[in-house]
Amino acid sequence: MKTKAMAAIAAEETVLGTETGIAPGKTKRRRAHRVSALASYIQATPLAVILGLFLLLPILTIGMVSFWDYDSVRIYPDFVTFNYTETLGSWVTWKTYLNTLKFTAIVWFLTMVIGFWVAYFLAFHIRSATMQMILFLVCTVPFLTSNIIRMISWVPFLGRNGLINSSLIELGIVPKPLEFLLFSEFAVVLAMVHLYTLFMVTPIFNTLMRIDRSLIEAARDAGASGFQVLTNVIIPLAKPGIAIGSIFVVTLVMGDFITARFMSGGQSASVGLMMANQISLLQYPAAAANAVILLIVVLLIVAAILRVVDIRKEL
């Protein structure tokens, strides 16, 4: 329905465009317009084909397979609903979802606070554009290196005989190594914040850079304190960036399984991990049903974020 309506609007706009195009009464222009419209289709085709083949059809396949039957060897075309009833009827699923949502909330909050202040510092306290660019790159570069290596790199810090434990013991703060540092939920949150904060920094930095500085001057002239400028001017204007960053972080954490598996040493549960386990047991239809539920939950959260903040201006 909605796509149809959109297509209708788009079609109407094309018609209007053509009509304004022929205002001087030249058919040549009309043809040029038609040729350029054709060019747009040709130029957009590769993207449409790739996304159709590797995004749209695979997701439809997941939807289809979630109704299939399976045994320990293979999967069978069928129309059964027990993949859903089993998943939704088990309290393990609900507990896992709650646990995943808890991780999402904690990581979202931490990355937002850290990301906002880092972006704020870069946007408002660094005066020279070159320095701004350099510091921004310093923040971006780790994002372009391997996630797994970045996770591994916490081992010498957090391990039983790691840097933190050995310094704490040496300083006499704790008598024996703290066990909760590595392979715990704490480690999972720490690694996720480490991996994903950049997804907050970039969009927030982008919106902060676009704020008209005269607005801040005006607020100051009108007698606003620094705190009031922040809460009444800067944060409301930064909302679209915060929303985009939030969408990134929420979807990354909701679908994560590798961080949860590696950093918790298998002790913590997450939806992604549950799916990965079902996949490794070749229970594809069960994993597919889980995937459909996960997708719905993620899309609901994204829709909720978009309801609160209008990000269209940012695109």
Partner 1 sequence: MHADKRSREFYILAIFFGLFVLFLYGPLTTIFILSFQGPSGGLTFPMNGVSVHWFANLFEQQAVGDFGGSFRRSMILGLMTTTITVIVSLLAGLAFRRKFKGSTFLFYLAISSLVVPSILISLGIGLFFQVLGIRPAWWSSGLGAHLTWTLPFGVLIMFAVFNRFSPAYEEAARDLGATPWQTFRFVVLPMIAPSLIGVGLFGFTLSYDEFARTLMTAGTFNTLPLEIYGMTTNVTTPVLYALGTVTTVFSFLIILLALTAIIIVGRRRARIG
Give helix then strand counts, H and E, for the chain.
16, 2
Q: Which of 20, 23, 125, 308 binds partner 1 (CB under 8 A)?
A: 125
Give residues with Cβ within 8 angstroms of 211, minimum separation 6. 123, 233, 234, 237, 238
Q: Which residue lies nearer to partner 1 by CB, 88 or 138?
A: 138
Q: Is 20 in the site for partner 1 (CB under 8 A)?
A: no
Q: Is 226 in the site for partner 1 (CB under 8 A)?
A: yes
Q: Is 93 in the site for partner 1 (CB under 8 A)?
A: no
Residues in region 259-278 near partner 1 by CB under 8 A? 262, 272, 275-276
Q: Is 287 in the site for partner 1 (CB under 8 A)?
A: yes
Q: Which residue lies nearer to partner 1 by CB, 237 or 255?
A: 255
In whole angstroms, how close is the CB of 61 to partner 1 at the nearest point?
4
SS3 assignment, position 69 = strand
Q: Which residue lies nearer to partner 1 by CB, 64 or 88?
A: 64
Q: Is 235 in the site for partner 1 (CB under 8 A)?
A: no
Residues in region 140-169 near partner 1 by CB under 8 A? 141-142, 144-150, 152-157, 159, 161-163, 166
Q: Is 222 in the site for partner 1 (CB under 8 A)?
A: no
135 within 8 A of 118, measured Cβ to Cβ:
no
180 within 8 A of 202, measured Cβ to Cβ:
no
In whole angstroms, how close is the CB of 142 to partner 1 at the nearest point?
5
Residues in region 166-195 near partner 1 by CB under 8 A? 166, 194
CA distance linking residue 107 with residue 197, whole number of Å: 9
Q: Which residue lies nearer to partner 1 by CB, 240 or 272?
A: 272
Distances, alpha carbon 84 to alpha carbons 140, 193, 255, 278, in Å? 41, 32, 19, 14
Q: Which residue lies nearer to partner 1 by CB, 48 or 88?
A: 48
Give residues with Cβ within 8 angstroms of 292, minimum separation 6. 62, 63, 66, 84
Q: Which of 136, 314, 139, 133 is nearest to 237 (CA)?
A: 314
In whole angstroms, how close is the CB of 87 to partner 1 at the nearest point?
14
